[in-house]
Amino acid sequence: MRAIVVQEFGPISSHKIEQRPDPAPGAREVLIDNHAVGLNFPDALMLQGKYQKRPDRPFVPGRDCAGTVLATGPGTSRCQVGDRVVAQVFTGAFGERVIAPENRCFPLPEGVAFADAAAMITPFNTAWAAVDDRAAVKAGDTVMVTGASGGVGAAAVQLCRARGARVLAAVSSAEKGELALRNGADVLIDTNAADLATLKERLREQVAKATGIAEGKGCDAVLDTVGGDLFEAGLRVLRFAGRMVIIGFASGVIPAPRANYLLYNNLSVLGSPLDIRFDKVFGEVERGVSAWLSLLAAGKLNSNIAASYDFGDFAAAFDQITERKVAGKVVLRFNR
């Protein structure tokens, strides 16, 4: 099989596609004939050795893929040969054949395309944890999503809308705003500001206008993928008993909120990790995947695929992400 192999960490263009023997599934693992790969920002970090975990070299990177089950290992019970599945693995998705633990594989409903599922699994699993579990968003809630045109942000916008919430999409440009609106956002919040004090004031004004609540504390929840100043300013638009959900730090800045502000304003701050959920609350992960795949099959969600590249052109595909050229998701296809 062909696979992208990291012999040593380095620039994305330094990695090559190599011929490798097909891997064999071990206990409770499946072998997938890969049809589509979804690219995520952390994949780019992984190839360069900048991700928080650095696997032993050589290895095949990649986390999101979709295809058909070719073989199953001993003790497998959730997947059968021939099943169409989407998988979220830690490494190995950037190959024509992928080994996945069976609890990282999920059956695809009829009619759902491999590329859509591969593009959605990490963003939608992450957003599902934040929307359903941590923020417990319900119909009628007002929710602000930061980084609302990013992979996870756009997924959160869609999932909030699907359950009847009013969604305020915080974005930095008109182009990104368009993507958020296409995903169902009700109102755009402009995040451009010269400093933190101005950002706090501008966010409060815009949220007050959007929610009609004069003192500017109108959101039931803020789902934050950006961190830094946006997190700090986001706390200021929460109502009494509002929930701030920490999803990520795309800005590169980890905020440190003042505990007295949380106390005086009766606020909750909730972490929303994804990976640990596979170990701790697998039933919840499974319920979430099944829910968003059903919404997708019913035509109520979209994958936001903006660019599709041949597997051999992976370096150009990654450029779209690392150069911040693309609004939406990038996928690799195998042309078969």
Ligand X SMILES: NC(=O)c1ccc[n+]([C@@H]2O[C@H](COP(=O)([O-])OP(=O)(O)OC[C@H]3O[C@@H](n4cnc5c(N)ncnc54)[C@H](OP(=O)(O)O)[C@@H]3O)[C@@H](O)[C@H]2O)c1
Chain residues in the site for ligand X (CB under 6 A): 40-42, 122, 126, 147, 149-153, 171-172, 176, 191, 225-226, 247-252, 272-274
Q: Which is nearer to ligand X, 76 or 122 (CB)?
A: 122
Give the C-alpha separation, 42 to 40, whole Å: 5
- Give the nearest distance from C-beta 228 to ligand X in angstroms: 7
* Other CB atoms within 10 A of residue 49 CB: 13
Strand partners, 6: 59
Do 173 and 191 touch, CB atoms closer than 8 A? no
Give the C-alpha separation, 218 to 209, whole Å: 10
- Give the nearest distance from C-beta 13 to ligand X in angstroms: 20
- Give the nearest distance from C-beta 135 to ligand X in angstroms: 13
Q: Which is nearer to ligand X, 76 or 146 (CB)?
A: 146
Q: Which is nearer to ligand X, 68 or 251 (CB)?
A: 251
Q: Can you say whether the dihedral through the CA atoms of 255, 171, 180, 320 is positive or negative?
A: negative
Strand partners, 23: none
- Give the nearest distance from C-beta 324 to ligand X in angstroms: 6
Give the residue at shortest CB distance from ligand X: 150
Contacts (Cβ under 8 Å, ≥6 apart) of 12: 44, 47, 48, 314, 315, 318, 319, 322
Q: Which is nearer to ligand X, 25 or 184 (CB)?
A: 184
- Give the nearest distance from C-beta 7 to ligand X in angstroms: 25
Helix (H) or strand (E) holding 309: strand 305-310
Q: Which is nearer to ligand X, 76 or 272 (CB)?
A: 272
